[in-house]
C-alpha cells in the first residue's frame, strides 16, 4: 500500500480528556503496551471508542479510551503524535480529508465493479452517463482510494460493511405513496418533487456541512438523471424532517443516516441509493502502523463484521438523547454479539 506524506494539525494546548481504563481479567502482563482508543467530540465517536476498547480488552489487551479530543483535525494530530493508538472514523469522511480530489463513492471494489456493470447495462437516464458521471471502469472504491491516501505512519483495517452513515434521500409519508423509494427509478420523476436539503452537522458534529449543489444536486443528476428543479435549504436535519411531516416538501436529503434523527426515521421512507450518488461512509479503524498485533487487528475486524447501521444508530440515540452510558451500551452490544 502506497502511503502519502504525514498529516500534521496543530494540537490543542490543553486537551480535556476522559480516560477510562478497560482492562480484561486476562489482560497482558505489565510489560505489554496499553492501547489508547481516541474519540472526537461526538457521541458516535465516543460509542465506537468504547466498543473498540472493550473488544480489545476482551482479547487480553490493556486498553483505555481518551475522549473529547475535538474535531477530526485534533484527533488526527493526536494519532500522529502518538497520544492515541487508534480511532474510529468513517471511510468517506477520511478520504475527503486525505484526498479531496478523489471521486470514489462505492464502498469497496466488489461494489464498485457491480455499480460499473449496472451503469453499463441499465436502461433509462442512469445508463445515458450524463457529462461528469462515473461509468464503467471509472467507478472507484472508497476503500481503495483511502488505502492509497492514508498518511505515512498510519494504516486502516477492514471497513464495517454493515454500517454506512452516508447522506440519505427520504420521502415524506405522503410522497412515498406516489413515488418509488429507489433513486434508480425515481430519477425521471425528480422534477416533480419539492426537495429539502439539510446543510448543518446536527447528525454528525465532526462532518463538514454539505454544499447543496456540489454534494447533493450534482451527484443526483449525474448518477440517476434526478434533476431537482425546486429545492429548499434547511439549517438542521430536524427542521427538514418537520418540513417533510408537515407536507412543505416532498423529499429531503439528510446529512447522514436518518436513523440518527431523534426518535429515528419514524414515518419517513428512505430511498435506496444503489449506485452511490452519495459517497459511502462505512465505519473503519484508523491506527498507528505497526502498533496493533494480528490478534488485536483480528478483534477489530470481528467488530467490523457485526456492526449494523440500525443497531449503531439506536445506541447513539440512547446515549445522546436519553443520556445512557456509552460504556454500558457498548458492553451490552459486545455481549449480544459474543465478542
Q: Give the whole-angstrom CA distance, residue 151 versus residue 92.
A: 15
Is the torsion defined by CA of 290, 294, 298, 300 positive or negative? negative
Check residue 137 and give its pLDDT. 46
Parts of the chain belonging to CATH 3.40.190.120? 167-278
Class of the 167-278 domain?
A: alpha beta
Tell me which residue of 122, 97, 120, 95 sits closest to 106, measured CA to CA.
Answer: 95
Cell 458516535 found at: 44
CA 298 from chain centre, in angstroms, equals: 21
Q: Give the whole-angstrom CA distance, residue 275 versus residue 223.
A: 7
- DSSP symbol at 125: G
Is the torsion defined by CA of 40, 41, 44, 49 positive or negative? positive
Torsion angles phi and psi, residue 72, rounded to 5: -60, -45
Q: Give the whole-angstrom CA distance, residue 160 versus residue 301.
A: 8
Parts of the chain belonging to CATH 3.40.190.10? 35-122+139-164+282-338
Q: What's the number of CA atoms in the CB half-sphere (13 Å) around residue 225?
A: 16
DSSP 76-120: HHHHHHTS-SEEEEEHHHHHHHH-TT----BSSHHHHHHHHHHHH
Cell 451500551 found at: 329
Is the torsion defined by CA of 297, 300, 304, 309 positive or negative? negative
Q: What is the pLDDT of residues 167-186, one digit of tens each?
A: 999 999 999 999 999 999 99
Query: Within 10 A of 215 (CB to CB), how many other CB atoms are there?
Result: 20
Query: Within 10 A of 89 (CB to CB), how many other CB atoms are there?
Result: 26
Q: Give the whole-angstrom CA distance, residue 109 versus residue 159.
A: 12
Q: What is the pLDDT of residues 54-111, one digit of tens each?
A: 999 999 999 999 999 999 999 999 999 999 999 999 999 999 999 999 999 999 999 9
The pLDDT of residue 27 is above 70: no
Average per-residue pLDDT in the chain?
89
The pLDDT of residue 30 is above 60: no
Q: Give the whole-angstrom CA distance, residue 165 versus residue 255.
A: 9
- DSSP symbol at 60: T
The pLDDT of residue 32 is above 80: no
Counts for the chain of helices (H) and strands (E), in that order: 11, 11
Q: What is the pLDDT of residues 232-287, one digit of tens each?
A: 999 999 999 999 999 999 999 999 999 999 999 999 999 999 999 999 999 999 99
Torsion angles phi and psi, residue 146, rounded to 5: -65, -45
The pLDDT of residue 305 is above 50: yes
Partner residues linked to 231 by β-bridges? 195
Tell me which residue of 233, 224, 167 sits closest to 190, measured CA to CA.
Answer: 224
CATH number of 35-122+139-164+282-338: 3.40.190.10
What is the arrangement of strands in the sheet containing 154-156, beginning at the earlier edge strand? 19-23, 62-66, 35-38, 86-90, 283-288, 154-156
3-state secondary structure of 56: helix
* This prediction's pTM: 0.87
Q: Give the whole-angstrom CA distance, residue 62 versus residue 121.
A: 52
Which residues have C-beta within 8 Å of that of residue 177, sequence separation ≥ 6?
none
Amino acid at each position: 500500500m502506497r502511503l502519502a506524506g504525514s498529516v500534521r494539525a496543530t494540537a490543542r494546548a490543553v486537551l480535556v480528556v476522559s480516560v477510562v481504563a478497560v482492562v480484561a481479567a486476562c489482560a497482558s502482563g505489565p510489560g505489554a503496551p496499553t492501547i489508547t482508543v481516541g474519540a472526537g467530540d461526538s457521541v458516535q465517536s465516543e460509542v465506537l471508542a468504547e466498543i473498540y476498547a472493550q473488544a480489545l480488552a476482551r482479547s487480553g489487551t490493556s486498553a483505555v479510551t481518551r475522549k473529547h479530543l475535538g474535531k477530526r483535525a485534533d484527533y488526527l494530530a493526536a494519532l500522529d503524535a502518538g497520544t492515541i493508538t487508534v480511532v474510529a472514523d468513517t471511510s468517506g469522511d477520511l478520504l475527503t480529508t486525505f484526498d479531496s480530489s478523489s471521486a470514489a463513492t462505492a464502498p469497496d471494489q466488489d461494489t464498485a465493479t457491480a455499480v460499473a456493470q449496472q451503469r453499463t447495462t441499465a436502461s433509462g437516464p442512469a445508463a445515458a452517463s450524463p457529462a461528469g458521471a462515473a461509468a464503467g471502469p471509472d467507478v472507484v472504491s472508497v476503500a481503495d482510494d483511502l488505502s492509497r491516501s492514508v498518511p505515512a505512519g498510519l494504516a486502516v483495517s477492514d471497513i464495517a460493511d454493515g454500517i454506512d452513515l452516508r447522506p440519505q434521500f427520504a420521502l415524506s409519508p405522503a410522497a412515498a405513496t406516489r413515488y418509488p423509494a429507489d433513486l434508480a427509478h425515481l430519477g425521471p420523476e425528480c422534477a416533480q418533487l419539492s426537495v429539502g436539503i439539510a446543510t448543518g452537522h446536527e447528525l454528525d458534529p465532526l462532518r463538514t456541512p454539505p454544499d447543496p449543489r456540489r454534494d447533493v444536486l450534482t451527484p443526483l443528476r449525474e448518477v440517476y438523471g434526478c434533476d431537482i428543479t425546486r429545492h429548499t435549504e434547511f439549517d438542521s436535519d430536524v427542521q427538514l424532517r418537520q418540513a417533510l411531516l408537515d407536507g412543505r416538501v416532498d423529499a429531503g436529503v439528510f446529512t447522514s443516516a436518518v436513523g440518527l434523527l431523534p426518535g429515528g426515521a419514524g414515518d419517513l421512507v428512505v430511498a435506496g441509493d444503489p449506485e452511490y450518488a452519495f459517497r459511502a461512509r462505512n465505519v473503519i479503524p484508523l491506527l498507528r502502523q505497526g502498533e496493533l498485533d494480528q490478534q488485536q487487528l483480528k478483534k477489530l475486524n470481528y467488530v467490523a463484521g457485526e456492526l449494523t447501521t440500525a443497531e449503531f444508530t439506536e445506541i447513539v440515540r440512547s446515549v445522546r438523547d436519553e443520556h445512557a452510558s456509552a460504556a454500558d451500551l457498548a458492553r451490552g452490544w459486545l455481549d449480544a454479539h459474543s465478542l
